Chains A and B, each alone.
Chain A
Amino acid sequence: MIRTTAWRRHPLARYAVLILALALVGMVYAAFVQASKPADAALASGKVDDVAAGKSLFQVHCASCHGLNAEGTLTGPTLIGVGAAAVDFQVSTGRMPAANPGAQMPRKPMAGWVTPEKIRQLSAYVQSLGGGPAVPTKDQVDPAKGDAGKGGQLFRANCIQCHNWAGAGGALTRGKYAPNLNEATPEQIYEAMVTGPQAMPVFNDTTITPEEKRDMIAYITQVREQKDPGGFGLGRIGPVTEGLVGWVVGISALALAAIWITAKKRQKS
């Protein structure tokens, strides 16, 4: 101790400490540069912590299918270039981490470890790998700012073939299906359009502009708030359920009534 204290008093001590500090900073910097070269942007914006935390989350929860460096494996596609929006969509809807690699990734409750903070870190890491669509801002997806009329036109031209006019979803090929849109948040709807999760096609911002996407979100959220004037919506999936209920319930009630009216009462003679 005495020696150390003595060294502190040494005329060269201040230079030694300065050199040491510089060396330390340099080493840490070099380590980061080596670990994630494309992270420069994140580093510049002070999000380097998110990227690092996201990488460790990724290696624990995602790497078994998507590969240690998100390069993709036989069971999972590469995530380089999918962007933060894709991560936010997949993880916040509970689709990822997937329970098993099947035809359809169903919406399910989020995994236990998932918090908005963790999603942000994971998104930052995937975004740092090769860019891609970013998570939309609150303003970009505010249904109150969209024109539901215009959005409805676009929705009818591009979406209802799979998702149904009321967003109830529908079947696709080989076990896949287009999910119900009524559980999705405005952010998730936007992210799905811009990233094209699973079998869904991509609607990028240069052909369907962010304003037009907001219009569509306004349409979807307004339709889901509409009441069913008849009382029962029957899933709003159209003539299939309505016909089924009509035939099974209505016709059988009529048939039973007809049988009861005309049935001969057994007489004791």
Chain B
Amino acid sequence: MTDNEHENEQVDERVPKRVIGTPAAGTSLLGDGESAQPHEATTSETSGVTFQDEQKARKAEKIVALCFTVTFLAAIAFIISYVVFQVGSLEATGASNFALGGTLTLALLALAIGIVVWVRQIMPKYSLIQERHAMASDDDTREVVADTFVQGANESGFVKRPLLRRTMLLAAAPLGLLPIVLLRDLDNSKMPASKFNETLRHTVWGEKNKEGKPLRLVVEGTGQPIRAADFNSPGGILSVVPEGYEHDLTALAKATLILIKFRPEEIKSGTNKNWTHDGIVAYSKICTHVGCPAALYEQTTHHILCPCHQSTFDAADGAKVIFGPAARPLPQLPITVDDQGYLIAQGDFNVPVGPSYWERGDAEAEARSKGGQA
């Protein structure tokens, strides 16, 4: 260190007696103790230390000075633009943000570049090797520690007073067992989670409206019930929600449908025709993979595409999976019309909608074994 200071003084005549940010003459950052620093540090000389070429350093100095000047100007510009650009309209706020952000970025960037150039091209380079000392303590120290431990154990009376020792162990035992008690709650048979199978298995389509009639299908967004005769253009699709639940997001998360109109001859055997009405088929909109809304529909190919992972379903053939990670077809909702010609649900889905879950099992096989259809 002394070496450097010495050199700096020699090189730069302009340096005043006390530079801002440095200790005053006669004091030191470390206080009085500094003189006690072992003198070998300086005697180890400058091995591994490379000083920069003075020519290049002078050049770099100019670059750094330029960077710092840019920082200075940009910071001034920041203050000016804070005053000049007033916020208010969207455009004015945008201009203000751009000016403030731009000048601040420029200021900080120039400062950072200046410091990096300073470090890399002006300060000396060090490549130092520091030897590690042995990890183990020496024999004497270890002996002292062992003696101290035994002495402490004896003085505590841990050996001599069995009552203390035993009651302490007694106190510790139940504390150690406490976590095992908590594990009991892993059994969730009485918790809400145990009803997942029940709640996920059913949607509101199985319910009745206030007059005790099956729920009508209504257009998502307008709440209009749909007359089957109105939904009469083959190739049509609608996003549909249950009457009375237009804004109940918990219900809609399971009950939202896509309604597709086919020419009767387009419908293939995979579709349950008893659950359709005049070429109108209703499928769950919830993808059976991870529950995204699968509603990208191509009327030419009858593909329903899920935007998340590209699962593709054949809408004409019971929404069977023809591509992608989904494991099961989109469940079909049994629909029919009421006496006024509006589309209604015959009942709930026969199988749970949406993605798989542990308790679901093979619900399709179960439905078939009961004589129903999946």
Contacts and interface: CB of A to CB of B under 8 A. Distances in A.
B236 A203 contact: yes
A261 B297 CA distance: 53
Contacts of A231: 98
A229 interface: yes
A200 B299 contact: yes
Interface in A216-269: 227, 229, 231, 260-261, 264-265, 267-269
Interface in A163-180: 170, 172-174, 176, 178
B221 A156 contact: yes
Contact of B222 (A178, A202, A212): A212
B298 A207 contact: no
B289 interface: no
Given A201-B299, A207-B231, A269 B50 contact: yes
Interface stretch (B20-28, B300-308, B363-371): B300-308
Given A153-B221, A229-B94, A202 B301 contact: no
A227 B233 contact: no
Contact of B235 (A162, A170, A201): A201
Contact of A158 (B226, B238, B312): B238
Given A199-B301, A200-B299, A201-B237, A265 B125 contact: yes
Contacts of B227: 206
Contact of B90 (A156, A202, A227): A227
Given A172-B305, A267-B125, A202 B293 contact: no
Nearest to B324: A173
Instruction: Say which size band chain B's interface belongs to.
Output: 35 or more
Which of A150, A178, A207 has the most chain B CB within a 10 Å cutoff? A207
Interface string A198-215: 111111101110001000
Contacts of B90: 227, 229
Interface string A8-40: 000000000000000000000000000000000
Contacts, number: 100
Given A196-B233, A267-B50, A154 B296 contact: no
A60 interface: no
A122 B236 CA distance: 25
A265 B121 contact: yes
B166 interface: no
Interface string B141-166: 00000000000000000000000000
B94 A207 contact: no
A170 B307 contact: yes
A204 B221 contact: no
17 contacts: A150-B221, A150-B222, A153-B220, A158-B238, A170-B296, A172-B298, A178-B296, A198-B300, A201-B237, A202-B237, A204-B230, A204-B232, A204-B233, A206-B230, A206-B231, A207-B231, A261-B116
Interface of A: 150, 153-154, 156-158, 161-162, 170, 172-174, 176, 178, 196, 198-204, 206-208, 212, 227, 229, 231, 260-261, 264-265, 267-269
Give me the 10 closest cross-chain CB pairs, A-B, nearest first: A206-B230, A199-B298, A153-B221, A157-B220, A201-B237, A204-B233, A154-B221, A202-B233, A157-B239, A202-B236
